[in-house]
Amino acid sequence: MSAVTDNLGLFFGGYLRSLSICLWALVGSLVLGVLVAACRVSPVPPLRAFGAFWVTTFRNTPLSVVLFFCAFGLPELGINRSFFFFGVLGLVLYTSAFVCEAVRSGINSVSAGQAEAARSIGLNFSQGLRYVVLPQALRTVVPPLGSVIIAMFKNSAVVGAFGVGGDLWSTGQTLTSARGLETLPVFVGIAFFYLMITLPAGAILQIVERKVAIAR
């Protein structure tokens, strides 16, 4: 285990780098996912079609293919950025499809009677949305959205494996190949630090879930 304890600093640096991938991708995919979800539930047919296309494409393509496309395809179009940028971009595009579906299913889970009741007591569209539909939708969205986010945190390892550099994954690669350390202790180290991302995230999610839970 000295392989881990001796290189704790290196692991911790990798941990922070992985965490920053996660957080950038979190912000990006939430924004993009909600936008796509808005398209999918809008009354405008072309926007709905666009949303459906987006979701079908990114949900059925492996993240690794999206990453390859971003990193090798986009430069062909004259878009040259760092691997970190392409990595986060790929993760955002991929995750946005899942965020969209979580949000959409949350909105759909509100029964039509709720909106009808809101209208029948004289609330207009935006009031009904604001006071009746969205508060309920947001609560049902939390659990599936939480598991999407945790899955995304785990997928940040794929971005790392893709070659962003400096994150947990490449720390492990450096230690095993360049320094020739045993793979098992390094694996344990990587696994431990990934658990340090996913387990706290899961705990936070549970707290949030309990806070917003409603009995139906």
Partner 1 sequence: MSQETVLYDAQGPKARRRTRIGTAIAVVALLGLGYLVVQRLIERDQFSMEKWGPLIDPSNEAFDSVWRVFGEGIVNTIRAAAIAMVLSIGLGTLIAVARLSLGRTGRIPLIGLIELLRGLPVVVLIYFGVRVLPDVGVDLRDLPGGQALWGLVIGLTAYNMVIFAEVVRAGVESLPRGQREAALATGLTNGQTMRIVLLPQAFRVMLPAIISQLVVVLKDTSLVTFIANYDELLSQGESIRRNLDNPIQTFIVVALLYIAINYSLGRLAQYIQRRQARASRAVVATTDTGATVPVGGGA
**Site for partner 1, residues 41 to 70, rule: CB under 8 A:** 41-47, 50, 56-57, 59-66, 68-69
CB of 133 to partner 1, least distance (A): 7
CB of 44 to partner 1, least distance (A): 4
| Packing angle of the helix pair 134-163, 83-109 (nearest 10 deg) | 160
**Per-residue CA distances from 79 to 86, 110, 151 (Å):** 10, 42, 28
**Per-residue CA distances from 26 to 146, 150, 152, 189, 211 (Å):** 11, 10, 8, 24, 21
| CA distance linking residue 86 with residue 95, whole number of Å | 14
Among 16, 23, 27, 72, binds partner 1 (CB under 8 A): 72
CB of 89 to partner 1, least distance (A): 14
Binding to partner 1 by CB under 8 A, coded x per residue (else -) over 74-113, reads --xxx---------------xx--x--xx-x--xx-xxx-
Q: Which stretch binds partner 1 (CB under 8 A): 5-13, 19-27, 36-44, 81-89?
A: 36-44
Taking a C-beta distance cutoff of 8 angstroms, is the pair 106, 187 a contact? no
Per DSSP, which regions of the chain are E strands? none
- Which amino acid is located at 151 in the chain? A
Q: Closest CB to partner 1 among 13 and 41?
A: 41
CB of 27 to partner 1, least distance (A): 17
Residue 183 interacts with partner 1 (CB under 8 A)?
A: yes
Q: Binding residues for partner 1, how many (CB under 8 A)?
A: 71
Q: How many CB atoms are located within 10 Å of the residue 172 CB? A: 24
Taking a C-beta distance cutoff of 8 angstroms, is the pair 101, 81 a contact? no
Enter the tokens of residue 9: 């600093």
CB of 202 to partner 1, least distance (A): 7
Q: Closest CB to partner 1 among 69 and 83?
A: 69
Find the binding residues for partner 1 in span 115-174 (CB under 8 A).
115, 119, 125, 129, 133, 143-144, 147-152, 154-158, 161-162, 169, 172
